[in-house]
């Protein structure tokens, strides 16, 4: 005590600047610790086609009322939370204000032998939601957890145990949810919600089905097609498995959605390379470039890759792709309505298509996308055909010079990938070779670039 008394003057001198620094830090503006797409600074939609976007929000609310939704995307490598804030506009339309998100690793599937730990791993994401959403709105805020590829691959029972623990854990939090809001998403779920997101961001909701656009998303394991049907078209469907009802824009949409499992780009490679065509096996494969000898592994299987005796050929490669697609398989409807692998494609081919994911990636690799700021590009399926012809007629060693934007590891597959993309669009989905389609990576929404991914669509459907 005596020592403190002796040095009290020194302590005072040190304390004064420390207090001043602390005061300055407290009043300084701080940057947000989490990434945020903030739309609150810009004007609402002005074009008439946007007037009903998101109309009919469940629970209503007068114009200017805030509506919240939480969606957790539980993927194979990690979990990501989206905290959406909407304002209710005229006619009940929902106007997106911001999408605050955060992510963490590993994913839920990493806790296969410890389900309680899987649920607890989501704690930081829920803490962010509780800090972001006003307390008086939390009990009315829906939370959804959609698990994708990782949990689908777990042994029987493991995924159910994890989901049960997540439901138990969520009950400790103030948000609104039902057991059905925590589930493994099917490819159909992802395709449907992604379709809703895309059309919302484009301002295509609220009118007729003809005002909306169709989407084709080429993933690694599967490819999904989605588009809106009229009520009469939906009633005539040979099987209700192709139909999903989604609510938004002040109406209910009958959406055709089908997920072609085993026909994503990576799975498609395996299907094409293992195709038992005499032409593909006896003399080598027409999709493999001259100069390459190797293997391709997918889903525990190994396929040999050796070039055809006459070299790679776009025409012969597409014949093998067509065979792998099983495009002549019956679908329980007139053959003109069948797409491939025995699936029904609907009574008509939609007029406006947006295609994404690996379609975008391969177009970028081929040099079609110029500039990092390009997010959409109009082209025809024939562009993929011309690029495939160029790739297939080029030897392995020359491919790098012919396609300078392509990564070296893609060289053995470039002829196959481009031929697959072209055949899938024109023969699989029956899009005319000269039709105008749109490649899309992200959509500009009120000055912000937003990915047309499924979480926003899930939130819109829950609220709308």
Residues of the binding site: 220-224
Cα(122)–Cα(133) distance, integer angstroms:
17
Report residue 393: phi and psi, to 5°.
Answer: -90, 5
Largest separation between any pair of C-alpha atoms in the chain: 100
Cα(193)–Cα(356) distance, integer angstroms:
14
3-state secondary structure of 348: coil
Is residue 190 part of the annotated active site? The answer reads yes
Q: How far from chain centre, in Å, is Cα 405?
A: 24
Cα(429)–Cα(426) distance, integer angstroms:
6
Cα(231)–Cα(173) distance, integer angstroms:
40
Q: Which two tokens stand for residue 4?
A: 């403190």
Contacts of 155 (CB under 8 A, 6+ apart): 112
Strands (E), 48-147: 66-74, 79-88, 94-104, 142-147
Give 253's strand partners.
Answer: 246
Task: Determine the Cα angle at 411 with ends 408 and 412, to 5°.
Answer: 130
Catalytic residue among 51, 165, 190, 318: 190
Cα(107)–Cα(118) distance, integer angstroms:
8
3-state secondary structure of 269: helix
Residue written as token pair 């006459």: 310
Angle between helical axes of 358-365 and 381-392 (0-180°, round to 10):
50
**Preceding amide of 106 cis, omega within 30:** yes
Instruction: Determine contact, residues 210/158, Cβ cutoff 8 Å.
Output: no
Nearest to 58 by CA among 100, 96, 94: 94
Instruction: Determine contact, residues 437/431, Cβ cutoff 8 Å.
Output: yes
Q: From residue 460, give the alpha-carbon distance in Å to each of 59, 68, 185, 190, 424.
A: 13, 10, 16, 14, 30
The number of beta carbons lying within 10 Å of the beta carbon of residue 327 is 19
Residue written as token pair 């379709």: 195
How would you classify residue 92: left for phi > 0, otherwise alpha for psi between -120 and 50, otherwise beta?
Answer: left
Catalytic site positions: 190
């Amino acid at each position: 005590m005596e020592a403190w008394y002796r040095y009290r003057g020194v302590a005072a001198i040190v304390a004064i600047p420390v207090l001043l620094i602390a005061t300055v830090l407290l009043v300084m503006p701080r940057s947000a610790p989490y990434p945020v797409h903030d739309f609150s600074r810009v004007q609402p939609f002005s074009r008439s086609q946007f007037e009903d976007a998101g109309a009919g929000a469940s629970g209503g609310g007068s114009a200017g009322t805030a509506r919240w939704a939480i969606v957790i995307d539980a993927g194979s490598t990690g979990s990501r939370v989206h905290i959406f804030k909407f304002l209710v506009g005229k006619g009940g339309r929902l106007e997106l204000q911001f999408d605050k998100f955060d992510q963490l690793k590993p994913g839920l599937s990493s806790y296969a032998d410890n389900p309680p730990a899987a649920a607890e791993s989501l704690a930081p994401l829920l803490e962010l939601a509780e800090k972001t959403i006003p307390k008086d709105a939390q009990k009315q805020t829906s939370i959804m957890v959609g698990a994708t590829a990782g949990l689908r691959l777990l042994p029987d029972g493991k995924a159910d145990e994890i989901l049960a623990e997540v439901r138990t854990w969520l009950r400790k939090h103030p948000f609104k949810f039902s057991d059905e809001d925590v589930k493994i998403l099917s490819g159909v779920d992802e395709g449907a919600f992604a379709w809703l997101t895309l059309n919302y961001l484009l301002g295509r909701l609220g009118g007729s089905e003809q005002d909306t656009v169709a989407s084709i998303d080429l993933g690694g394991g599967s490819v999904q097609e989605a588009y809106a049907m009229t009520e009469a078209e939906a009633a005539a469907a040979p099987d209700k498995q192709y139909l999903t009802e989604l609510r938004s824009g002040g109406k209910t949409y009958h959406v055709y959605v089908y997920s072609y499992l085993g026909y994503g780009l990576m799975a498609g490679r395996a299907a094409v390379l293992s195709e038992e065509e005499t032409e593909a096996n006896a003399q080598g494969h027409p999709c493999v470039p001259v100069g390459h000898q190797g293997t391709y592994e997918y889903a525990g299987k190994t396929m040999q890759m050796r070039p055809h005796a006459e070299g790679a050929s776009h025409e012969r490669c597409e014949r093998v792709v067509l065979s792998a697609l099983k495009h002549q398989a019956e679908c329980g409807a007139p053959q003109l309505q069948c797409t491939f692998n025995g699936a029904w494609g609907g009574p008509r081919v939609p007029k406006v298509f947006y295609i994404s994911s690996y379609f975008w990636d391969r177009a970028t690799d081929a040099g079609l996308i110029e500039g990092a700021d390009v997010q959409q590009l109009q082209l025809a399926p024939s562009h993929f055909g011309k690029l495939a012809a160029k790739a297939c007629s080029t030897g392995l060693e020359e491919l790098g010079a012919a396609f300078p934007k392509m990564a070296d590891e893609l060289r053995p597959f470039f002829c196959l990938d481009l031929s697959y993309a072209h055949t899938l669009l024109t023969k699989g989905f029956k899009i005319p070779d000269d039709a105008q389609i749109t490649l899309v990576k992200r959509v500009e929404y009120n000055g912000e670039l937003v990915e047309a991914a499924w979480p926003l669509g899930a939130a819109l459907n829950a609220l709308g």
